[in-house]
Homo-oligomer: A and B are copies of this chain.
């Protein structure tokens, strides 16, 4: 395939839309050090905004030093896309915003490749492929549109995928805990230091947008069932822990479980199966997901714990991993 051949030597010419958010900023930092990404533009709502100043001060090189990536507003991308100076868009916008932006500025659809970090196309609409490499590597490599998974679905699906694929999930409860960056950069009562510090609380009980996303992808893996999912806010900056409680479809021994998870993740560069339960600090600012699986002898229930950095494997570094796949590069490039 000529596209494939082209990709092999290609450098992605990327514009990050929403560079002032946590995920967009983290992606931009990773892109600056990535040999296969030319960061062509950081796009913000308004160049006069506080957000624009934040981008400049947050990115090494952008604040007047060696590298100077231009800060643009959306309309200013038009010419760059038309001329082919930008061929890939990484959209790191609040949910709903990318879809609306596409309606307002239809020319954005002309980008050769798009990775959308919002939930707007995670249902597969508009031809988007679900960007969880450990589940859909081939599809991502062939895709021009990728919907980057949410942070909770990433941790939950990597915890459950080996069981789901083997048809072993009878029932599942997912208790998830996230650091405060998961709530985004917009200041609010909930993200005020005084509200979050020394506190922890369940939120969006029964109605988090990630529940249907998790169910949909579990179904794609072979496990069609309703699950219970509850997120909790915890006083730390970055990190996400999923504690999954699975009633197995058949009796499973510790040995069965260890074998199942080792086979599932052997060779996976970014999933590590551990003996003891993982802590989120172990994976901070990495693309790793660390997983442990246990059998509760009292009840026969299966316990799976998975830890990721919600801004990395749960967002920005997973987007890099997807971009690597889409461009036919080494999947781990720029991530080590």
A3 close to chain B: CB less than 8 A: no
A173 close to chain B: CB less than 8 A: yes
Shortest distance from the beta carbon of A296 to any chain B beta carbon, whole Å: 5
Of A117-125, A140-148, A188-196, A317-325, the one touching chain B: A188-196
Shortest distance from the beta carbon of A254 to any chain B beta carbon, whole Å: 10
Given the interface pairs A228-B301, A303-B206, the reply to whether A194 lies near B237 with Cβ below 8 Å is yes
Given the interface pairs A187-B189, A241-B232, A294-B206, the reply to whether A22 lies near B194 with Cβ below 8 Å is yes
A104 close to chain B: CB less than 8 A: no
Q: Is the CB of B177 within 8 A of A177?
A: yes
Q: Give per-residue flags for A4-35: 1 if the beta carbon is below 8 A from chain B beta carbons, else 0.
A: 00000000000000000010000000000100
Q: Is the CB of B198 within 8 A of A284?
A: yes
A138 close to chain B: CB less than 8 A: no
Protomer copies: 4
Q: Is the CB of B298 within 8 A of A202?
A: no
> Which of chain A's residues 234-250 have a Cβ closer than 8 Å to chain B?
234-239, 241, 243, 245, 247
Which partner residue on chain B sits nearest A188 by CB separation? B187
Shortest distance from the beta carbon of A247 to any chain B beta carbon, whole Å: 8
Q: Is the CB of A281 within 8 A of B228?
A: no
Bound CA span A245–B299, Å: 14
Counting contact residues on chain A (CB < 8 A from B), the size range is: 35 or more
Bound CA span A271–B59, Å: 16
Q: Give per-residue flags for A188-228: 1 if the beta carbon is below 8 A from chain B beta carbons, else 0.
A: 11011111111111110110000100000000000000111
Q: Is the CB of A236 within 8 A of B237?
A: no
Partner of A232, one of B173, B177, B296: B177
Q: Which 3 A-B pairs have the closest CB atoms?
A: A201-B279, A187-B187, A199-B281
Interchain Cβ contacts under 8 Å between A and B, 14 examples: A175-B175, A177-B232, A185-B192, A185-B194, A191-B194, A192-B193, A195-B281, A200-B280, A201-B241, A201-B280, A202-B277, A203-B277, A205-B303, A230-B303
